[in-house]
């Protein structure tokens, strides 16, 4: 062959569609997304179970051995006003803590129409 023929000779290479993944490549491509989906599913199940447990505690009075009454929050009501409106031997501050615990409250924000379990003597 002459040099001109070598220059014009087609070069054979692997087709662009032939991709070969190593075991590590398959793990990164398939395994990590599958692990991420599994982690999100487990987290969702945990949050759902926690939510159901909190509802079960609230509906059963929250703390064993505590009788509770249901009080509906009105416009402008605060934990202090709800605690003060209930006849109890406890100090208002102690009663506020008990109300928060019974209802799983993380802050003092109340919504009109919200129903709270309030301990009664």
10-residue block means of pLDDT along the chain (121 residues)? 58 67 88 93 89 62 67 91 86 90 88 88 70
- Structure confidence at residue 40 (pLDDT): 95
Fold classified for 68-119: Membrane-bound Lytic Murein Transglycosylase D; Chain A (3.10.350)
Residue 118 CA to residue 107 CA, distance in Å, equals 16
98-to-22, 78, 114 alpha-carbon distances in Å: 59, 14, 17
Q: Quote the pTM value.
A: 0.46
Burial profile 92-112: b = 16 or more Cβ within 10 angstroms, e = fewer:
eeebbebbbebbebeeeebee
């Amino acid at each position: 062959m002459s040099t001109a023929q070598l220059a014009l000779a087609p070069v054979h290479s692997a087709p662009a569609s032939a991709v070969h993944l190593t075991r590590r490549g398959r793990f990164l491509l398939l395994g990590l997304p599958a692990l991420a989906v599994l982690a999100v599913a487990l987290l969702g199940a945990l949050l759902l179970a926690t939510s159901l447990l909190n509802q079960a505690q609230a509906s059963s009075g929250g703390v064993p051995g505590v009788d509770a009454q249901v009080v509906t929050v009105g416009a402008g009501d605060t934990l202090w006003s709800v605690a003060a409106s209930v006849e109890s031997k406890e100090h208002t501050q102690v009663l506020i803590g008990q109300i928060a615990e019974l209802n799983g409250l993380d802050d003092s924000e109340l919504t009109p129409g919200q129903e709270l379990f309030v301990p009664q003597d």
